[in-house]
Amino acid sequence: MASIYKDSKTFVDMKMKYPPNETLLLFREFMERNDHMPTRHQIEQFVNDTFDPEGSEFEEWDPDDWVTRPKFLDKILDDDLRKFASDLNDIWKMLGRKMKDDVRINEDQYSIIYVPNPVIVPGGRFREFYYWDSYWIVKGLLLSEMYSTVKGMLSNFVSVVDKIGFIPNGGRIYYTMRSQPPMLIPMVDEYLKTTHDYEWLEDNLHLLEKEFDFWMTNRTVEVEVDGVKYTLARYYEESSGPRPESYKEDYITSQSFRTNEEKDNYYAELKTAAESGWDFSSRWFILDGTNKGGFRFKYISIRLQITDALNDPQFCDK
């Protein structure tokens, strides 16, 4: 809440220099020393003394299966488009991430979820794997003939399923209460169509089934229409509090709600929307045909529309 970083995600991506219990003890002592009202500068100094910078969990990695000129480039006749595609192929080397072995050894000091193989990340503030983004990344990697990288990423995913029961929104512990559109089986399908690596499938089929069972058990409800019962798949997240990666932003926008129950519902619905993969963008700021609105205005508008619809007898009849 002190806003020592412009992006709330920066802090929750930083590595603790000391074990969690020791870090908490240092924080309590820090707060007591400063009468529980430290200045922004004091907070910044404490964070610098107690945490390593974001991104310190990675080491240099150059993918050894990267191909300078994959075959698909020869099929592009337009020179400009071929150059564009070649530039995109170069970006794989920029977006590759490999975790230091220290993450495996001292995993409780990192927010990142350890995976044994390198990954390709979306880039920018997104330093870790993301679930459904990886489906499109896998398709591109296969086109670029980077089969080993794809196999490693798929093995990472099933290792996460084995460990926590499903694939979270992204590769951080603060994402482990929500997932994203379940694209693991389609990813594997794309990999198999290209490589025919059925041995990998045989070794990991039980983990694909385990992830499928998570969705069928935790993300479905029974609905009845005209006496016929259906299983409805849905996105659903109900953990309390703001999203850690957007903590201050969520907290501030929640202040327009009067009760804690309304705020908790708001937080849960934000995270459920994030699970759907429909990330928040400028479309949420449209107000009276302008972009001068705010996130909460759009949210409240949608809630009112839903409430009106539910109170409409015709809607209920349908």
Q: Does residue 47 register a pLDDT over 70?
A: yes
pLDDT band at 312; cut points 50, 70, 90: low
CA distance linking residue 217 with residue 35, whole number of Å: 48
Residue with tokens 């708001």: 266
CA distance linking residue 18 with residue 25, whole number of Å: 10
Reported pTM: 0.87
Are the C-beta atoms of 233 and 215 separated by less than 8 Å? yes
Predicted local distance difference test score (pLDDT) of residue 299: 61
- Cα 264 to Cα 124, 173, 238, 249, 251: the distances in Å are 30, 20, 9, 15, 11
> Per-residue pLDDT tens for 172-228?
999 999 999 999 999 999 999 999 999 999 999 999 999 999 999 999 999 999 999
> Per-residue pLDDT tens for 236-248?
998 999 999 999 9
Q: Does residue 90 register a pLDDT over 70?
A: yes
